[in-house]
A and B are shown apart, each in its own frame.
Chain A
Amino acid sequence: MSDTVISAESLAKKYGGTPVLDGVSFSVKNGEIFGLIGPSGSGKSTLIRLLDLLEMPSGGTLTILGQETRSSRARFDLRRRMGLLNQKPVIFAMSVHDNIALGMKYRGKSREEINSAVHDALRAIDLPGYGKRMARTLSGGEAQRVALARSIVTGPEILFLDEPTANLDPLSAEKIEELVLGINRDLGTTIVISTHDMLQGQKLAGRIGVILEGGIPQIGTTSEIFHRPATRKIARFVGVENIIPGTVTKSQGGEAAIALAVPGITVQAISEIEPGTHVTVIFRAEDVTIHLRDISGTSARNVFFGRITSMISSGPFVNVVVDCGLGITCLVTVSSAEELGLSFGKEVWISFKATAVHVIRETPDK
């Protein structure tokens, strides 16, 4: 069996002339969890429907499990080797047992086979003894677990999850995430999951494709996407706080100095971009440290002095904005904010490493 189970080449989809997806190319490897992360309306659900062969692409080529996907015969056969879980749990007006058994009934499985598979599935989703209940009486989280069980009792080689937890409470969402990880680990099922929730992508997926405005501008590990976003838009979507335009002034031995738009502020970064290039400097708030004294000369290459102009709590963290000529956002824990005695107007030093700075060749107005 080849290592690649899904291979998409310049995939496009239009609805009545309006392009929803355009030039989407990527591949998914056997046994991995591949995340599709993007905001609502970016085309995630459409892409999943194309991949599960429920809709025809308007252009491009798609190969699933090593087979072409043009003929309706091939599409039908391949569809039976894949499974889908939707954002909204789809529940039929039947018992829980019959809901889970549906796909197996379509495949003409024997009653004994179905009964034993459904029995095992109910245990796996932690709803043993629920078989006879009417499925419409279940809670949202239970219904989604039943829908998940239904999509895997047929033994799919690829499982598509389209925002599987978007409608669920945190506990139910966690339960689904656990089950998904278990399915991948124990059954070796390849999983493609779409989500707008970055944390979920990070938790579940090994590799991530960022889907923005109908295309996939970047594919990489979660750490690559989070720390080295390829464009300003991706940086903004993955929640990078500090996105600042500048110009490279010096570049030597893999290190570059970048003059920011504010006169007098130069940032050191690891980059080989040649001097004179307009760039954007990107670094995450959690990579910025706050100090009460000047620590210039230590290992931190970028040290700036400024005044706190804003402090906003979010859970166990505080978002602190320090005005060093331009506002730089730092993320500190509540306890260290208390320890440092941070308050509005206080003068502090901030520092971040050259390795924490990501530089992209892009001018600001995009």
Chain B
Amino acid sequence: MENEIIAGFVQAINLIITLDPEVIRITILSLQISLTSTFLSALVSIPIGALIYYHEFFGKRFIINMIQTLYALPTVLAGLLLFLLLSNAGPLGFLGLLFTPQGMILAQMILVMPLIIGFTISALSGVDRDMKTIVNSLGATKFQSIMTLIREVKFAILAAVILGFGRAISEVGAAMIIGGNIRGGFGYSGTRVLTTAISLETSQGDFPLAIALGIILLGVAVLVNFGLNLVQEGSVWKNYTTS
């Protein structure tokens, strides 16, 4: 077993260095799906978060609690729910999204959106009351006021978006159920991504490929964390350093 691991590592490095087409294809598809789902989530979630923050309505507290609960929504559960909706017999079956990258994007959005909505709300809630007063006193419309406050907490929101991407790229449950881990090739993208491929190769005993993909996934995680730190440092640096 020990030899197998070491050999696996050596072969894995080899696969990465030689730019093995299968490894490249899976990596690119993973990044495409997760970046798209994160971007679309941010596009929808930041305004939703701002709207929830800005309005007082019955059940607001409850909705915020629900959103925060969804931070920890098990990915397989999200996959199951979406599967039921997208399957041929389901209400959204006509869209034909099951076992497609588009379907996977949708699944990841369900996982990422609560994070970005929730963190947008709490970032805006952290804004000083005096600041809101001054924005209003300066004659801002509701929209201008929200935009100014979002700009004020942009680093916190950006951090939430990066965190969302981390959740999207690393989840396996929903990608497996909705994507189906279909191998691509000959112009067909398939739905096999880093996590589902690792899962499959491990169960089939093809450790070198699994390890290679694992190293790449870890690399992406390191990059995400690096980016997060950069953002957090940037927020300090930008506010307090003379240009």
A and B: interacting chains: yes
Binding site for B on A (CB under 8 A): 49, 52, 54, 76, 79-80, 82-84, 86, 88, 90, 92-95, 102-103, 105-107, 132-134, 136-137, 147, 150-151, 154, 160
CB proximity of B190 to chain A, nearest CB, Å: 44
Question: How far is the CB of B151 from the nearest CB of chain A, in Å?
Answer: 8
Interface residues on B, range: 20 to 34
CB distance from B38 to the nearest CB of A (A): 24
Q: Could you say which residues of chain B place their CB within 8 Å of the CB of A93?
A: 151-152, 238-239
Can you list 19 A-B contacts with CB-CB less than 8 angstroms, sorted by A residue number?
A: A54-B133, A76-B141, A79-B136, A88-B130, A90-B130, A90-B133, A90-B134, A92-B151, A93-B151, A106-B138, A132-B243, A133-B242, A133-B243, A134-B238, A134-B241, A147-B134, A150-B138, A151-B137, A154-B138
Number of A-B contacts (CB under 8 A): 69
Q: Is B240 an interface residue (CB 8 A)?
A: yes
Q: Which residue of B lies closest to A108 (CB)?
A: B144
Cβ-defined contact, B242 with A103, below 8 A: no
Residue of A nearest to B153 (CB): A93
Contacts of B133 in A (CB 8 A): 49, 54, 84, 86, 90
Partner among B130, B151, B238, B239 whose Cβ is within 8 Å of the Cβ of A86? B130
Q: Check B126 for interface membership: any CB of A closer than 8 A.
A: no
Contact with A along B126-157 (1 / 0, CB 8 A): 00101101111111110010001001100000
The answer on a CB contact under 8 Å between A86 and B240 is no
Q: Given A54-B133, A90-B130, A92-B131, is A106 in contact with B240 using a C-beta cutoff of 8 Å?
A: no
Asked whether, in the complex, the Cβ of A90 is within 8 Å of the Cβ of B140, the reply is no
CB within 8 Å for A136 and B240 given contacts A88-B130, A90-B128, A90-B131: yes
Once bound together, how far apart are the Cα atoms of A88 and B134, in whole Å? 11
Contacts of A92 on B, CB cut-off 8 Å? 131, 148, 151-152
- The answer on a CB contact under 8 Å between B242 and A137 is yes
Neighbouring B residues of A151 by C-beta, 8 Å:
137-138
Additional pairs, 9, CB under 8 Å, beyond known A79-B136, A86-B134, A132-B243: A49-B133, A92-B152, A95-B243, A103-B139, A133-B242, A133-B243, A134-B241, A137-B240, A160-B137
A54 to B138, CA, bound (A): 11
B238 adjacent to A137 (CB under 8 Å) = no
> For residue B237, which residue of chain A has the nearest CB?
A134
Most A CB within 10 A of own CB, among B128, B138, B151, B242: B138
How far apart sit A12 and B30, CA to CA, in the bound complex (Å)?
61
Bound Cα distance from A145 to B24, whole angstroms: 57
Other-chain residue from B137, B151, B238, B242 in contact with A79 (beta carbon distance below 8 A): B137
B-side contacts of A150, CB under 8 Å:
138
Docked pose: A82 CA to B139 CA in angstroms: 9
Residue of B nearest to A87 (CB): B130
Q: Which of B135-194 contact A (CB under 8 A)?
A: 135-141, 144, 148, 151-152
CB within 8 Å of A: which of B214-243?
Answer: 238-243
- A90–B140 alpha-carbon span in the complex (Å): 15
Residues of B within 8 A of A147 (CB): 134
Q: Are A134 and B138 in contact (CB under 8 A)?
A: no
Known contacts A90-B130, A134-B242, A82 near B137 by CB under 8 Å = yes
Contact B243 A154 (CB under 8 A): no
* A contact residues around B238 at 8 Å (CB): 93, 134
